[in-house]
Amino acid sequence: MSANYNIIISGGGTGGHIYPALAIANELKSRYPNARFLFVGAYNRMEMEKVPQAGYNIEGLWISGIQRKLSLKNVAFPLKLISSLLRARRIINNFKPHVAIGTGGFASGPLLQVATMKGIPTLIQEQNSYPGITNKILGKKVNCICVAYDGLERFFPKGKIVKTGNPVRKDLLSISGKSITGKDFFKLKHNNYTLLVLGGSLGARRINQLIESQLPLFASQKVQLIWQCGKLYYEQYKQYHDGINIQVMPFIDRMDMAYAAADVIISRAGASSVSELCIVGKPVIFIPSPNVAEDHQTKNALAVSEKQAAILIKEQDLDQQFSDRFTQLLSSSSLREQLSTNIKALAMPNATSDIVKQVEKLLKAS
C-alpha cells in the first residue's frame, strides 16, 4: 500500500470540530509518515490558529453560516458560498487529494461538496446526536458517515453509517486510579469532595452565575472546586480564587489531572465533552447550552441521561432544581456509582482508530 497519500481535512469553527480533525490527522500521520496533509478552514475562525500550532498547513475559505433569524449578514451568504466553492475547487485541483475528510464547521460544506463532484472518496464525522444542516446535505453524497450516537439513520442513508464514537485525547484513557495524583496536582485535600466545573474554553455565563450563587452550599458540604470559568469571565470571577478550596482559572491545560481529581463534574454537553466524560466515567451533571444550532447540546445530554448515565438540568430549571439534585447526588454513593457505571458503558475509546480504518478502506478503494 502506497504511503504517499494526499489527505485533505476540513473541520472548524469550534474546538468540537477542530479537535476530532486533528486527532484523525495525527492517527493517519502515525500510520503513513510520508502522507501529505492539508486542512481547509474558514477565515477568521479558530482553526486558522489552532491547526498551524499542531504542525499542519491550512488554507482558508471566505465562508460563514446562515443566521437563523433575519439578518443583513445573510445577504452576503450566496456570494461567500460561490467564492468558497470556487476556491475549494482550486485547492483540490492543486493538492489532488486521495481522500477528503470533513468533521463539521462552515468550511467543510464547500470542500466536501467539490470533492464529491470530482469523485474523490469522502468521509464525514458527525459528532452530535442531531446533525447540523451541512452534514445532513453532505450525507446524501459522501461515501462514509462516522457517527457517535444511535438513531442517525433518521438523517443519513443507513448503508453509509458506521458507529465509531468521537475521538478523545489519548491522555484521558489512562486517568483511572489517579484521583490522589490529580488532587495533589491542584493542591487539594484528599478527603473532600472535588467538583469540576466546565463551561468551555470561552466560558458559560449561566453556569458561572450558578456556581457563584451556590458557593455557600458548596462550603457547607465541604466541597472543593476546580472552576474553569472561561477567559471571557475570568476577570469577573477570579475574586473567588483562594487557592485552597476554590480554584478559579480561565482555562485548564491539564484536563487529565482535572478529570482525575474530580468526584463530580458539571459540564456543558458539546459532543466532544460528552465523549470525554463517557471515557472519564465520573458522575456528571449536564447543563446544556440552549443557544446552539438545533439545540443539539440538549439532545446530546438526553442521549446519556435517558440511559440513567448522567443528570440533565436545563438552564431554565437551575434555580428550582440544582441545589436539591446536587445535594442528593453528594449524599448518595449508590447514585454516584450508578451514574459512573452507566456512563462508562457508553464510552468508545477506540473512536479515532475506528474512524481511520474507514478512511483506509476509502484509500484502498481509490
Binding residues for UDP-N-acetyl-alpha-D-glucosamine are: 14-16, 128, 169, 201, 252, 297
Distance CA 355, CA 125 (A): 8
Q: Tell me if residue 91 falls in helix, strand or coil.
A: helix
Number of H helices, E strands in the chain: 14, 13
Residue ranges of the binding site: 14-16, 128, 169, 201, 252, 297
How far is 364 from 366, CA to CA, in rounded Å? 6
DSSP string covering 266-326, please? EE---HHHHHHHHHHT--EEE---SSSGGGHHHHHHHHHHTTTSSEE--GGGHHHHHHHHH
Distance of CA 145 to the CA centre of its chain: 17
Our CA dihedral for 338, 342, 344, 349, rounded to 10 degrees, sits at: 180
CA distance 352 to 52: 21
Q: How remote is the C-alpha of 331 from its chain's centroid?
A: 30
Q: Please give the distance of CA 25 from its chain centroid, rounded to a whole number.
A: 16
Return the closest-CA partner of residue 363 out of 16, 79, 24. Answer: 24
